[in-house]
Amino acid sequence: MALRYTLRQLEYLVAVGQSGSITLAAERLNVSAPSISTAIAQLEAEFGLPLFVRKHAHGMSPTQSGREMIREAAAALAAADRLTEVAAQFRGTVKGRLNLGCLLTFAQILVPQFRRGFIDRYPQVEFRQTETHQAALIEGLRNASLDVVLTYDLALPADMEFVELASLPPFVMLPQSHPLAHRKTLSVGDLADLPFVLLDLPLSSDYFLSFFEKASLRPQIAERSRDMAVVQSLVANGFGYSIANFRPLTDQAPDGKALVFVPLTGPVQPMRMGLLCATGSRASLTINAFIDHAQTVLQDILPALILR
């Protein structure tokens, strides 16, 4: 039976499902909103199913059948990309689509550098990026909307492959005027009674809080934020200390106030940063090329990112 829908229509369907909005999907794909709206209507007519619930003030929410169709559409697009990849491998060229996901924590520092150098070297690659938290990155790999993700080794699925790029020891972030800012090292015992500004991202927060649990201590969480830039500014303005593994390239918070970074010692595990992908996907010439590229670029900038 001849297909009466196109890969482009499936791409529009997945984009709307991921963004929750025709307008946002249009911006992401750089096409007109009416084109996407028409494609969704045509797919609904073809499948005989409502794929979305339209909410005027809240965008588009997938129906139960829509969620399953979006998942299958993403898998079909990934399979189509693999056909292109197979052909490219026989030609020995790196091309096709690469969807990179990255943890919010360090996306602003690493992803633009990785992306610039990679597409300059491989201009035939269509590169797309997504910044989000760990659980969403893993889900993106599972539903094939992401090809590879730059992340930490937090709750990694057994059926995925992790390529370590760096080991990042934890450190304490303090305002310059803090009484402990002059210390060479700090332990969780030094911090337990002080106000804590927690980076409250899924899995990341568990990692930071585990330091206190291992020492049978309870931290005094004064502030929470899911944005590292906000955490840095809260610390710099005296609302407490924070703990991180990936230091900014300057000693200033986004609002210009000074920060001090002190190594955290004791029974605290470093965080391993690396690239996560589905098992077997390293057979892809494009993914392998990106892993090699990331390893090379990171070695040049790593000394500025690690507090020793």
Write out pLDDT tens, residues 32-83: 888 898 989 889 888 888 898 887 666 788 898 888 999 888 888 887 777 7
pLDDT value, residue 304: 66
Are 282 and 288 within 8 A, CB to CB? yes
| Side-chain-facing half-sphere of 286: CA atoms under 13 Å | 25
Q: What is the CATH number of domain 93-167+272-304?
A: 3.40.190.10
Report, as an integer, the average pLDDT of 196-223.
93
Residue 109, token pair as written in the block: 């520092």
pTM: 0.66
Q: Which residue's entry shows tokens 């990112």?
A: 305
Per-residue pLDDT reduced to its tens digit, 97-123 = 899 999 988 888 889 999 999 999 999
Q: Does residue 91 surpass a pLDDT of 60?
A: no
Task: List every span in the chain annotated with CATH 3.40.190.10.
Answer: 93-167+272-304, 170-269
Task: List every span in the chain annotated with CATH 1.10.10.10.
Answer: 1-92
pLDDT value, residue 88: 60
How many angstroms separate the CA atoms of 283 and 280, rounded?
A: 6
Closest CA to 260 of 268, 269, 250, 270: 250
Residue 249 Rama label (left phi>0; alpha psi -120 to 50; beta)? alpha
For the chain, give the percent of residues with pLDDT over 90.
45
Q: Does residue 1 surpass a pLDDT of 50?
A: no
pLDDT value, residue 83: 75
Q: Report the chain's mean pLDDT, rounded to a whole number.
A: 88
Beta-bridge mates of residue 220: 195
Per-residue pLDDT reduced to its tens digit, 117-137 = 999 999 989 999 999 988 889
- Torsion on CA atoms 228, 234, 237, 242, rounded to nearest 10: -70
Among 131-135, 212-216, 237-241, 280-284, the least confident range: 280-284
Per-residue pLDDT reduced to its tens digit, 32-45 = 888 898 989 889 88
Tell me which H or E stretch contains 272: strand 271-278
Per-residue pLDDT reduced to its tens digit, 261-279 = 999 998 888 999 999 998 8
Is domain 170-269 annotated with CATH 3.30.360.10? no
Q: What CATH architecture is 1-92?
A: Orthogonal Bundle (1.10)
How many angstroms separate the CA atoms of 278 and 146, rounded?
A: 10
Helical spans, DSSP H, in 192-264 = 204-214, 228-236
Are 134 and 151 within 8 A, CB to CB? yes
| Side-chain-facing half-sphere of 165: CA atoms under 13 Å | 25
How many angstroms separate the CA atoms of 82 and 79, rounded?
A: 5
Are 287 and 149 within 8 A, CB to CB? no
